[in-house]
Structure 1
Amino acid sequence: MMLDSSHNQPRGTICIEDLEIGMRRSLTKQVTDRDIELFAEVSTDRNPVHLDDSYAQDTIFQGRIAHGMLTAGLISAVIGEQLPGHGTVYLGQTLKFMAPVRPGDMVTAEVTVLAIDHAKRRVTLETTASVGKTTVLKGEAVVLAPSRKFD
């Protein structure tokens, strides 16, 4: 397994046979202006609250914010790269956006195993993202986990 950076845990796969309730993985990433610009380009979401300082100053956020789905994408990275990891199939995700993420914020995305259905290979995961002690996103994901029986 290789490390993505000093803030992140090893990448790879944890097969469903090796998962345990309470298992947790995370990554930390600074959200940059470039990230926001690239996300706007890829998603075609060019809402000026993300891209225009003067416009964003007059909103409830009083400044530019990152796209909520950019933050949610960090959750996807933890699921797809670490827990369960490579070979995981996303089946569903709930999201509740709690607070804004601003350019320059260090976001920690964390995934925790809540339930395991071995018969269906389904795993329920608690998903959160935070900036410091502030939870900016929370939700729950259901995934189809890789299994050694199907390799």
Structure 2
Amino acid sequence: MLDNMPRGTICIEDLEIGMMRHLTKQVTDRDIELFAEVSTDRNPVHLDEAYAQDTIFGGRIAHGMLTAGLVSAVIGEQLPGHGTVYLSQSLRFMAPVRPGDTVRAEVTVREIDHHKRRVTLETCCIVGDIVVLKGEATVLAPSRKFD
């Protein structure tokens, strides 16, 4: 399941403080397996239910960076969108994401520096009513002046 807003580009000239975009995705076993393969992070807490049962999580969890990747998708596809360059991202993992959870990744414009084309974004991921990840990103936004 993937629910998201229109994709494309919002140039820095059109960004406004408080502008927000999101996507919603159910994290599947296949997503976790593919992320493990691509990242080479095969920690058994993600892949082995018997192992994960004996951890503080009491069962398998998705990779934190898989969840963070949903934030990247919103930034790269929606806000600001195509042509955006990531400069930095801080992350705080607040709660685990489990196979089958539906994650809503949200990105909100907090600051705009038109002179440097830099935009500060509040980032978060939510499962139900629980914030599972929060952070802040700084990006170089696309501009019509450079088309």
Shorter-chain TM band:
over 0.9
1:37 is matched with which residue: 16, 33, 39? 33
Q: Which TM-score applies when normalising by structure 1? A: 0.96
RMSD of aligned Cα (Å)? 1.0
Unmatched segments (≥5 aa) in structure 2: none
Instruction: Tell me what 1:85 maps to.
Output: 81
What percentage of residue pairs aligned between the two structures are identical?
84
Instruction: Tell me what 2:137 maps to.
Output: 141
Aligned residue-pair number: 147
Deviations 1:21-53 (CA, angstroms, capped at 9, x unpaired): 000000000000000000000000000000000
Unmatched segments (≥5 aa) in structure 1: none
Write the letter of the residue equivalent to 1:98. Answer: M
Matched, 1:23 2:7: no
Write the letter of the residue equivalent to 2:26. Answer: Q
Q: Secondary structure at the match of 1:36?
A: helix
By how many angstroms is 1:125 displaced?
0.0
By how many angstroms is 1:86 displaced?
0.1
By how many angstroms is 1:89 displaced?
0.1
Cα distance in structure 1, aligned partners of 2:140 and 2:4: 23
Matched, 1:54 2:50: yes
Runs of 4+ in 1 over 6 A off after TM superposition: none
Q: Secondary structure at the match of 1:102?
A: coil
By how many angstroms is 1:136 displaced?
0.2
Matched, 1:94 2:55: no
Instruction: Tell me what 1:128 maps to.
Output: 124
Deviations 1:104-126 (CA, angstroms, capped at 9, x unpaired): 00000000000000000000000
Write the letter of the residue equivalent to 2:23. Answer: L
Instruction: Tell me what 1:14 maps to.
Output: 10
1:116 is matched with which residue: 112, 122, 125? 112
By how many angstroms is 1:94 displaced?
0.1
